[in-house]
């Protein structure tokens, strides 16, 4: 494959960078939030994303009949990477997981109601797959959906729903057929987050970010808000997870942190000697730069596979997610080690090595290896779908 971008794609990047320069706002952009910077959780961030919608960039890969531009996935990739490099919110759940699933499987009513709002960023979603006993294994979800007239009653609990406290709608999976096999009998629903029978309780992560527990107590959902066919929700979730595993973990912030570490090593001393002259340090930094290039190329391979047609690139998504998040964690660990005791100072401490960035990324990168399916889950996917190993080996 060709790893170079075309003149048209480079011109698009130039336009995006100019747009970001023209719309800079410290309330919108914060690189120290790492991958959590992508969520659209404040009014200034929603306003900024609405401006992206006005540019036509939110639906850049959607079909024209639904308001998109029928663009190649590489444009979405380039846009997200540029946004991530600034620590800004990114196109994600609404455009990708929800929007693309509704386009492929949703009713005409759902398309008419939600797709225009997504393109204008007039609606935010929370995604409810994980439960206390069904984390990365979404097929184990047990939230019950019981038939009631022209709709369903939902009862149960979800956890790790990051956007629940500010989202407008809940994209939630529930078990509609308890007697079906594990990977069947699950259906997707859209539920308004302001439903009186929904209770949201915060969970604070080690990265100082909020996620949530969500309790649904006899929540009625009309048939109009069932997504696609009954009992095929897990298949839709699996398709969307391939996209989530890629778009959740952008490369540009990782490259940025590697650059910070490299500059620190160039100028720092230890015991009166330049760190850059230490053979062990040089070897470590060289290894990190080599692995960074692997992460970058794995991302480009996913983009190429996702725009070539055919089946969703499940293996490429898992390869990228597994390698990149584990590499990001190794980079954070190396930054803490090489910064010495000063690396433990909190982020934004000016006198700290790398302004304390190593400390914050050390905490954030643990979360990255779990979100979108843990590293263990990615290994299992690759073992089965790429290596052809049996399920129980």
Q: Which CATH architecture has domain 7-91?
A: Orthogonal Bundle (1.10)
Q: Is pLDDT at 308 greater than 60 in this prediction?
A: no
Kindly state the average pLDDT of the residues 285-291.
Answer: 97
Residues of the chain with CATH 2.40.110.10: 126-231
| pLDDT tens, position by position, 220-249 | 999 999 999 999 999 999 887 766 666 668
Q: How many whole angstroms separate alpha carbon 13 and alpha carbon 90?
A: 15
In this structure, are residues 88 and 28 in contact, taking their beta carbons and an 8 Å threshold? Answer: yes
Q: How much is the pLDDT for 220?
A: 98
| pLDDT tens, position by position, 47-75 | 999 999 999 999 898 999 999 999 888 89
Q: How many whole angstroms separate alpha carbon 378 and alpha carbon 356?
A: 31
Q: Is pLDDT at 34 greater than 90 in this prediction?
A: no
Residues of the chain with CATH 1.10.540.10: 7-91
| Fold designation for 126-231 | Butyryl-CoA Dehydrogenase, subunit A; domain 2 (2.40.110)
Tokens standing for residue 107: 């009713």
Q: Is pLDDT at 136 greater than 70 in this prediction?
A: no
Domain 249-385 has CATH 1.10.565.10: no
Mean pLDDT of the chain: 91
Q: Is pLDDT at 165 greater than 90 in this prediction?
A: yes
In this structure, are residues 334 and 327 in contact, taking their beta carbons and an 8 Å threshold? Answer: no
Q: Is pLDDT at 269 greater than 90 in this prediction?
A: yes
pTM for the model stands at 0.90
Q: Is pLDDT at 112 greater than 80 in this prediction?
A: yes
Q: How many whole angstroms separate alpha carbon 231 and alpha carbon 124?
A: 25
Kindly state the average pLDDT of the residues 78-82.
Answer: 94
Task: Show contacts of 41-50: CB within 8 Å, 24+ apart.
Answer: 41/163, 41/166, 42/166, 45/88, 45/89, 46/121, 46/124, 48/23, 48/88, 48/89, 49/89, 49/91, 49/121, 50/120, 50/121, 50/122
Q: How much is the pLDDT for 219?
A: 98
* C-alpha separations of 300 from 2, 5, 168, 177, 250 in Å: 9, 10, 33, 39, 11
**At which residue do the structure tokens 């990047």 appear?**
13
Q: Is pLDDT at 326 greater than 60 in this prediction?
A: yes
| Phi and psi angles of residue 250, each rounded to the nearest 5 degrees, phi first | -75, 155
Q: How much is the pLDDT for 309?
A: 57
Kindly state the average pLDDT of the residues 242-267.
Answer: 86
User: How would residue 214 be classed by pLDDT, with cut points 50, 70 and 90?
Assistant: very high
* C-alpha separations of 9 from 13, 328, 337, 340 in Å: 6, 27, 39, 41
Query: Other CB atoms closer than 10 Å to residue 10's CB: what's the count?
Result: 12
């Amino acid at each position: 494959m060709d790893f170079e971008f075309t003149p048209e794609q480079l011109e698009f990047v130039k336009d995006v960078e100019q747009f970001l320069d023209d719309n800079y706002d410290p309330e919108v952009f914060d690189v120290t939030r790492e991958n959590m910077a992508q969520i659209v959780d404040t009014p200034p961030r929603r306003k900024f994303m609405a401006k992206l919608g006005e540019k036509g960039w939110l639906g850049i890969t959607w079909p024209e009949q639904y308001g998109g531009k029928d663009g190649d996935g590489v444009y979405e990739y380039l846009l997200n990477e540029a946004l991530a490099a600034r620590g800004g919110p990114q196109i994600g759940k609404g455009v990708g997981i929800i929007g693309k699933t509704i386009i492929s499987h949703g009713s005409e009513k759902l398309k008419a109601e939600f797709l225009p709002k997504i393109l204008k960023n007039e609606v935010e979603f929370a995604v409810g797959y994980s439960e206390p006993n069904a984390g990365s294994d979404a097929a184990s979800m047990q939230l019950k959906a019981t038939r009631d007239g022209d709709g369903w009653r939902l009862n149960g609990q979800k956890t790790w729903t990051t956007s629940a406290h500010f989202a407008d709608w809940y994209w939630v999976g529930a078990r509609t057929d308890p007697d079906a096999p594990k990977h069947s009998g699950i259906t997707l629903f859209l539920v308004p987050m302001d439903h009186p029978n929904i209770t949201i309780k915060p969970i604070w992560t080690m990265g100082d970010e909020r996620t949530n527990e969500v309790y649904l107590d006899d929540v009625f959902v009309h048939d109009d808000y069932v997504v696609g066919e009954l009992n095929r929700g897990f298949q839709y979730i699996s398709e969307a997870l391939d996209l989530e595993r890629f778009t959740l973990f952008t490369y540009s912030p990782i490259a940025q942190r590697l650059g910070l570490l490299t500059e620190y090593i160039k100028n720092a001393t230890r015991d009166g000697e330049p760190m850059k002259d230490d053979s062990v340090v040089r070897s470590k930094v060289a290894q990190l730069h080599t692995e960074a290039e692997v992460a970058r190329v794995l991302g480009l391979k996913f983009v190429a596979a996702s725009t070539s047609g055919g089946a969703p690139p499940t293996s490429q998504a898992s390869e990228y997610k597994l390698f990149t998040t584990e590499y990001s964690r190794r980079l954070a660990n190396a930054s803490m080690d090489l910064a010495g005791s000063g690396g433990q100072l909190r982020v934004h401490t000016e006198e700290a090595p790398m302004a304390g960035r190593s400390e914050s990324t050390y905490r954030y990168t643990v979360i990255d290896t779990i979100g979108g399916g843990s590293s263990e889950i990615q290994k299992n996917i690759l073992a089965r779908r790429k290596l052809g190993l049996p399920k129980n080996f």
